[in-house]
Chains A and B, each alone.
Chain A
């Protein structure tokens, strides 16, 4: 059996290795600087089933409607809870969204107002719809749970 020729690394091999290492360092630095996720994502579920997932910024194109339990909710970008149908960003620069309108009997989802942080949600029990914000920067000064 003919032996394989002895392979000796060349300067080009070293260059490739260095490129791979440099790329790994860049990616690692990027990961450390930006965290595991970037930006908020709104997740909408109806009766426990996820039906939509989008960046709140997508609501600049217009509100989105969801139906459950015979009721319809309109989810919109908001500036604050007093003007939920506004298409502007909240003053702080955070992206917020709200249920601008609902034909449910309790209107709890509308009363909830604007959500801006990861982990916050708007719930409509009659429609069994949950709009929840996920991802974004971790907020160590935020709260883990809310009573009330």
Chain B
């Protein structure tokens, strides 16, 4: 009877223990953060997942405090208010200014952080939307010129790390919003590695860092919002299967306003001062974590390129993708998913076996290769 009783208790213990502590590899922490003018979701796994998730939040908050254009005390705000006088900035802002200059050069000016005064004229900075007059745009467009931004690295760091002296041209202002979330993703990658996080799913607005794989061993499933069905959360142009990748999407549907029956979105073409009208409705740029030339900023690159290639349009974007000599020193291998106004989804060959078209979207799927087919 004693043996029988022991067996029964053991059985009960095993059965009731099913809801016990989770496998350390699948334990997760998920936190939502409102920062950088967007909603972010940080999901980390592993034994140190809570500490890692909050360390990621700290990184985001720290970068926002330095790089935001709407926080009065940030380095960027103080630089914009400096009236063309030299101002000292820290390593993060310096690093981004250097990359912004490189991306502006490689994209032929399609990416330009000095477009800030024009973006403000449209009211996208302060959410007070309006259509500026052509005369106003003509007055502002000469300020859109990255070559007028002077950056001089300084070795006099006062023990606080490297710094730089920056001078903007008269009347100029910069907005690092087209880079900052990607840069945050790059920095978060270092946090995940530092905390031995086995897998994580980091969503920073339109930026996703798919780190490792899902707990079931399959790739993370990352949906690309269908630009034609923005009111439906489950409406995708397609789904990407990603592991160890950065992915960033830019689209005109993300932020817009309507006036006199016409829709104006927030991605301003630096060449015209108007919302880009390139025939694309969204551009997704995907790059691996380990790719690149050692500069270590593929997330930043994806962020900048998604904006620039949206402005450039399908033909120029694909030409840019094919010709790596155009990428410059800061570029690294990447792939694209382009959604066009005429109902096509164009996928570059590196994503062909990782992209599944949403049959309900009504789009046709095209895969393009580097040799132009």
Q: Do A and B bind each other?
A: yes
Which residues of A pack against B, CB within 8 Å? 9, 13-14, 17-18, 20-21, 24-25, 27-28, 31-32, 36, 45, 47-48, 81-82, 105-106, 108, 111-117, 120-121, 123, 125-126, 128, 130, 132, 140, 142-148
Give B232 Cβ to nearest chain A Cβ, in Å.
6
With A81-B231, A115-B233 in contact, do A148 and B254 touch (Cβ < 8 Å)? yes
Complex CA gap A117/B129 in Å reads 32
Complex CA gap A51/B347 in Å reads 43
A144 contacts B201, C-beta separation under 8 Å: yes
Closest to B15 in A: A28
Give B228 Cβ to nearest chain A Cβ, in Å.
12
For residue B91, which residues in chain A have a CB less than 8 angstroms away from its CB?
none
Complex CA gap A21/B222 in Å reads 44
Q: Does B203 contact A (CB under 8 A)?
A: yes
B210 contacts A21, C-beta separation under 8 Å: no
How would residues 204 to 234 of chain B score, 1 for a CB under 8 Å from any chain A CB and 0 otherwise?
Answer: 0010101000101000111111010011111
B231 contacts A82, C-beta separation under 8 Å: yes
A113 contacts B223, C-beta separation under 8 Å: no
A128 contacts B233, C-beta separation under 8 Å: no
Complex CA gap A21/B5 in Å reads 10
With A31-B18, A132-B32, A147-B208 in contact, do A21 and B233 touch (Cβ < 8 Å)? no
B11 contacts A21, C-beta separation under 8 Å: yes
Closest to A115 in B: B233
With A105-B128, A121-B32, A143-B239 in contact, do A17 and B206 touch (Cβ < 8 Å)? no
For residue B224, which residues in chain A have a CB less than 8 angstroms away from its CB?
146-148
Residue pairs across A and B with Cβ atoms less than 8 A apart, 7 shown, are A28-B15, A112-B233, A113-B231, A117-B234, A144-B210, A144-B220, A147-B247
Q: Does B196 contact A (CB under 8 A)?
A: no
Q: Which of B34, B214, B223 contacts A146 (CB 8 A)?
A: B223
Complex CA gap A117/B21 in Å reads 25
A146 contacts B222, C-beta separation under 8 Å: yes
Known: A111-B230, A125-B34, A144-B201. 11 other contacts (CB 8 A): A9-B5, A21-B11, A21-B12, A36-B19, A45-B32, A48-B34, A114-B233, A140-B216, A142-B221, A146-B225, A148-B227
For residue A117, which residues in chain B have a CB less than 8 angstroms away from its CB?
233-234
Complex CA gap A106/B258 in Å reads 11
Closest to B9 in A: A17
The 9 A-B residue pairs with the shortest CB-CB distance in the complex, in nearest-first order: A148-B225, A113-B231, A81-B231, A123-B39, A143-B223, A147-B249, A28-B15, A24-B12, A24-B15
Complex CA gap A25/B12 in Å reads 7
For residue A9, which residues in chain B have a CB less than 8 angstroms away from its CB?
1-2, 5
A111 contacts B231, C-beta separation under 8 Å: yes
Complex CA gap A124/B282 in Å reads 22
How would residues 24 to 47 of chain B score, 1 for a CB under 8 Å from any chain A CB and 0 otherwise?
Answer: 000000001010011101000000
Q: Does B236 contact A (CB under 8 A)?
A: yes
Q: Which of A106, A132, A140, A146 contacts B203 (CB 8 A)?
A: A146
With A21-B8, A113-B231, A113-B233 in contact, do A145 and B222 touch (Cβ < 8 Å)? yes
Complex CA gap A112/B254 in Å reads 10
Closest to B249 in A: A147
Q: Does B371 contact A (CB under 8 A)?
A: no
A20 contacts B15, C-beta separation under 8 Å: no
For residue B206, which residues in chain A have a CB less than 8 angstroms away from its CB?
147-148
Q: Does B298 contact A (CB under 8 A)?
A: no
A106 contacts B127, C-beta separation under 8 Å: yes
Complex CA gap A132/B230 in Å reads 18
With A21-B11, A148-B251 in contact, do A130 and B32 touch (Cβ < 8 Å)? yes
Q: Does B255 contact A (CB under 8 A)?
A: yes
For residue A112, which residues in chain B have a CB less than 8 angstroms away from its CB?
231, 233
Complex CA gap A121/B127 in Å reads 21
B9 contacts A147, C-beta separation under 8 Å: no
Closest to B5 in A: A17
For residue A140, which residues in chain B have a CB less than 8 angstroms away from its CB?
216
With A24-B16, A28-B18, A148-B249 in contact, do A128 and B34 touch (Cβ < 8 Å)? yes
Chain B 240-267 residues near chain A, CB threshold 8 A: 240, 247-249, 251, 253-255
Complex CA gap A78/B337 in Å reads 32
Give A46 Cβ to nearest chain B Cβ, in Å.
10
